[in-house]
Amino acid sequence: MDGLEPTGMAGLRNVRLTLQFDGTDFCGWQAQAHERTVQGVLQEALARLLDGERVTLHSSSRTDAGVHALAMPVGFRTASHLPLKAFVLGLNSLLPDDVRVLEARDAAPAFHARFSARSKTYLYRIQNGRVALPLERRTSWNVRPPLDVAAMTEAARFLVGRHDFSAFRAAHCDAASPVRTLTRCEIGGESPGLVTVVVTADGFLRNMVRIVVGTLVQAGAGRRPPSWVREVLEGRDRRLSGPTAPPQGLFLREVEYPESPGEPIFRPES
């Protein structure tokens, strides 16, 4: 489970992994009884690699069911002296095909995958067209009406900055404060039939990115003017914003941390 380190962990090695996974067949990151989760399969693989040692995993993000990750940092403390290579190649030989370790490093003692993060970047993919393409169904949201990328871009500008994002949080969100700072909300439409939304912030509320996307699509489809997004933001009421976009189009793309030069790292050659 995620949270602060328990007492008695001083002197243990602090390992940071970077994962990539297809979230389609997972019930999200966090371990759940009788459900297949990313945390669950990684814990089992680590227990085998570490000869039964059970470690506590801390992720940079608690992704929901169906959400993917291009690069999710995960940390844990261990008494093991295995080389970093083993935490990549060894774990990948034990993990299912829909999750892989991209790299491993020995992190500083104070590093925590969640609490040390400076910013997170998410990518959302929209397949825009009347026909829902079979090869896109696991990794994008099919939106049939033509989307106006310029209108979505104009609408997205209202979200950049430090705001109260109460209108963009799920009802069951347990964050203490709805205030977040968005430094980036960019709409891409370079590829025919594909619209992307890239959002960077110092942190995100529950379902925040998916609600932002659902709201921007309302402007892109011409159902609402771009200025409506500002009204939604200022209204601070979830009932005012757009629908929650489905999970399959969402990817955790990057998590940024303070620089830690000199950390040993193993990354397989391409």
Catalytic residue numbers, as ranges: 64
Backbone angles phi, psi at 196, to 5 degrees: -120, 150
Query: How many other CB atoms sit within 10 Å of the CB of residue 223?
Result: 11
What sign has the CA pseudo-torsion 261, 21, 28, 156? positive
Q: Alpha helix locations (H) across 190-236?
A: 208-220, 228-235
Per the structure block, which two tokens stand in for 63?
A: 């992704």
- Inter-CA distances, 168 with 34, 43, 70, 211, Å: 31, 32, 24, 6
3-state secondary structure of 154: helix
Query: How many other CB atoms sit within 10 Å of the CB of residue 200?
Result: 19
Cβ(182)–Cβ(160) under 8 Å?
yes
Cβ(120)–Cβ(208) under 8 Å?
no
Place of tokens 């005012």: 240
Please give the Cα distance from 258 to 110 (Å, whole number).
12
